[in-house]
Structure 1
């Protein structure tokens, strides 16, 4: 059934009788228990209560129905009666009260800036990227995020990333995190057993993350880590690579952009109230509804290569891919990374408090991505692993310097990540996601390549020195990496 979902959703109307499941997700993380008849013309989006634990227990669950619920929520236009708006709360990740009530529901600064997920994620299809007009303003993110200015001292302006292939990215990140943490355990054991310092080179799926040195007393020297947080969690989402999971990304975005507050973070367990934002709507988004959004995003088809190009374009793209690798771009924008398991479990085992975790539920919801038609079409390596064609490495890099500061022009850091450091952008789909850069203010691929500095300086200089014909072949190659419509 999950494969049938991506072949095309069966039409369902709101006039149909909705089935409501009204148990709790966990004793401490309860969904609102509501059971009412909903008129087919009701303007609300969040009418269907989905119980997380019930979904996880139903091994015969029609996964496509869960995904379809997620799509309906993602595309819906949230109303105040859904809980849209947060008059007394900020966009901060940590539940934070405003210094003064918001004068307007929508203000385009610290939010609200939208009443639908799809209003930003829509190019070229729902779930995709967004134009400059969909840019958002974000603060450092943790707290004190109450601002009404676009002054770069207080906020960073960001463009919209595409979500296609996001489920595979999260699975890759989980496996890489597990591998790095196993290496940490190994070096600690080596130091303890030998009574001397031990150092290990951290590597996951061929990507180097620096070195880690352990002492016999169990202390760790993390000064030589590279491109990853101290906890060795690979965080694939956000332009800075600061979110470990689609679930965390979703909970953050619901509050920031729409004023919809997930009970798993903003509910009574953490804040002492079921209406933290003071909009008189309680228990706005339950764990089951967040899971529906996660399921829909996690099963979005990965971008592909366009195969029906004119012959002259295809020839140029083939040549350009070779040039792309020769000048060093593929060192960070790796064409593929191998994935061992295609079982997507929600919640993510590496999420932090404030986002649903495996210990909060009886059992995770499982999505078998191997049943998706588009996943079955992906190549395998000699070990039978799925090769994810992301053109990325899920690692952070310094990509700006004094000579090339366009990609390092923010004044605020984010989640302890320096302002000139960003996660490698996955290039799959880049032919469909202009404009470019974290602010969406670079209009061509040539511009974004020439803007690279820092660790990308050598590759950028190699590109700059190419004859125009060779540059054009690289552009032809990148333009062939598209999001399927």
Structure 2
């Protein structure tokens, strides 16, 4: 075992678990002392090695990065594609252009590390090419977003992978039929009960994409971010490290890809190694999912039971699906759909494979008659139009993100919603009642049913939603 791990000096327990020898002096101003070597965690990981990787990832997640570690990006922007500035920024920490946080846990901390955040830790999402000298938090320059929780994130990514493979298989089968039979084929794309529209394939190979609904044209489900534009935890992690902390991952910003060992011009190279990213991914992928709690209060129990029925009656379950079936708990990192700018198999990198079934919480997940895990996310991993002219609150952004229209967002998973106030993409709605009434567009009919229901039925729905918690 190599001892070149990336371990915060403050995390004595992690140092002990990882067996790190020769740690840096306790008075050092490095937040981290060693980097993870990817070669130590390739192939199929057993429970012990997975535990080591998860512990190291947690240490990274709570580390408060310093300039000695490489925090800061004076000559680089927050853009996903490595992009240079013409001159260094005068102020490293800025709410809009970043940096804007010291640690991942600075924002993901409510009610536990890996949880959500309130309005005070909102971030500003742009394409990363703005001028930090004069741009402001005005919505014409960027979209303000509230912090999502990461609990159950590994299950979400596994669902997205299976659904993407399913939809692409349906497309490919229709293409083969159109080509071999010389007859136009129309296929309705449905995976795990979620309808993503239709494709029409002509015998000459032309594919009509106009009937797609709630998904990109490559039929890859991107389950992360409010707009559904991040493919994987790995992509999300590398983006966030650069954007929020000015910590550049070798697999995107290193010399092999940019021609510069110190792309951001802060006099530090190897700020985040491939192994470091893998550790962060393992920690996030292993987060236990939220739970639905049975209240001790008898009246609350009664109301929550009625509220579960109202959830279906109002049509909430049409998009916020209570469960989606998952065939396998085996998580590979990198995954089959990781985007450019992340480690990808076949590009000189080796990855890890680990079974989330090794984790204690996985044993409590419900299963269907076929043995599939029923992931209780209350979502559908599909984008929907969520605003209209009369109810436009959730269409409050002015800039499109990755070509997704301004009023279209991924269905928010409701698991954990009782622990993640405030609500809405901007975190500017303080109650569940407010965010329900803010639903327009495709959710307008359900919203109106709720709005026109009697007070007892509305109270019952809120009582049910208040049982979906992130355990502390």
Q: State the TM-score, normalized to the length of structure 1.
A: 0.92
Deviation digits for residues 422-477 of structure 1, max 9, x if unmatched? 00000000000000000000000000000000000110010001000000000000
Tell me if 1:305 matches 2:292: yes
Show the counterpart of 2:3: none
Tell me if 1:452 matches 2:453: no
SS at match of 2:42: helix
Show the counterpart of 2:76: 89
Show the counterpart of 1:353: 340
> Is the contact made by 1:239 and 1:438 (CA closer than 8 Å) also made in structure 2?
yes
Show the counterpart of 1:126: 113
Show the counterpart of 2:28: 42
Matched ranges for 1:51-70 at <5 A: 51-57=37-43, 59-60=45-46, 62-70=49-57
Shift of 1:85: 0.4
Measured at CA, do residues 54 and 361 of structure 1 come closer, stay the same or move farther in structure 2, by a change above 3 Å?
farther
Distance 2:339 2:441 in 1: 31
Measured at CA, do residues 289 and 453 of structure 1 come closer, stay the same or move farther in structure 2, by a change above 3 Å?
same
SS at match of 1:404: coil
- Aligned partner (choices 224, 230, 243) of residue 211 of structure 2: 224
SS at match of 1:81: coil
Measured at CA, do residues 112 and 229 of structure 1 come closer, stay the same or move farther in structure 2, by a change above 3 Å?
same
Tell me if 1:394 matches 2:381: yes
Measured at CA, do residues 14 and 380 of structure 1 come closer, stay the same or move farther in structure 2, by a change above 3 Å?
closer
Distance 2:375 2:260 in 1: 43
Show the counterpart of 1:3: none
Show the counterpart of 1:441: 428
Shift of 1:361: 4.9
Matched ranges for 1:252-291 at <5 A: 252-291=239-278
- Equivalenced residues, count: 460
Distance 2:116 2:296 in 1: 23
Measured at CA, do residues 13 and 358 of structure 1 come closer, stay the same or move farther in structure 2, by a change above 3 Å?
closer
Show the counterpart of 1:12: 13
Runs of 5+ consecutive residues of structure 1 not aligned to the other structure: 1-9, 21-35
Runs of 5+ consecutive residues of structure 2 not aligned to the other structure: 1-10
Shift of 1:40: 3.3
SS at match of 1:251: helix
- Aligned partner (choices 211, 233, 237) of residue 250 of structure 1: 237
Shift of 1:140: 3.0
Show the counterpart of 1:201: 188
SS at match of 1:210: strand
Distance 1:224 1:145 in 2: 38
Shift of 1:196: 2.0
Shift of 1:18: 5.5
Shift of 1:57: 4.2
Which deviates more from structure 2 when the two are superposed, residues 62-71 or residues 38-47?
A: 38-47
Show the counterpart of 1:236: 223
Which deviates more from structure 2 when the two are superposed, residues 459-468 or residues 59-68?
A: 59-68
> Is the contact made by 1:245 and 1:351 (CA closer than 8 Å) also made in structure 2?
yes
> Is the contact made by 2:290 and 2:469 (CA closer than 8 Å) also made in structure 1?
yes
Measured at CA, do residues 59 and 117 of structure 1 come closer, stay the same or move farther in structure 2, by a change above 3 Å?
closer
> Is the contact made by 2:118 and 2:422 (CA closer than 8 Å) also made in structure 1?
yes
Measured at CA, do residues 265 and 135 of structure 1 come closer, stay the same or move farther in structure 2, by a change above 3 Å?
same
Q: State the TM-score, normalized to the length of structure 2.
A: 0.94
Deviation digits for residues 73-113 of structure 1, max 9, x if unmatched? 10111010111100111111011112331111111111000
Distance 2:228 2:300 in 1: 33
Distance 2:117 2:353 in 1: 30
Q: CA RMSD in A?
A: 1.7
Matched ranges for 1:461-480 at <5 A: 461-480=448-467
> Is the contact made by 1:183 and 1:202 (CA closer than 8 Å) also made in structure 2?
yes
> Is the contact made by 1:53 and 1:361 (CA closer than 8 Å) also made in structure 2?
no
Measured at CA, do residues 458 and 226 of structure 1 come closer, stay the same or move farther in structure 2, by a change above 3 Å?
same
Shift of 1:223: 0.7
Show the counterpart of 1:113: 100
Distance 2:119 2:280 in 1: 24
SS at match of 2:391: coil
> Is the contact made by 1:15 and 1:40 (CA closer than 8 Å) also made in structure 2?
no
Deviation digits for residues 13-38 of structure 1, max 9, x if unmatched? 65899648xxxxxxxxxxxxxxx752
Distance 1:318 1:251 in 2: 42
> Is the contact made by 2:295 and 2:467 (CA closer than 8 Å) also made in structure 1?
no
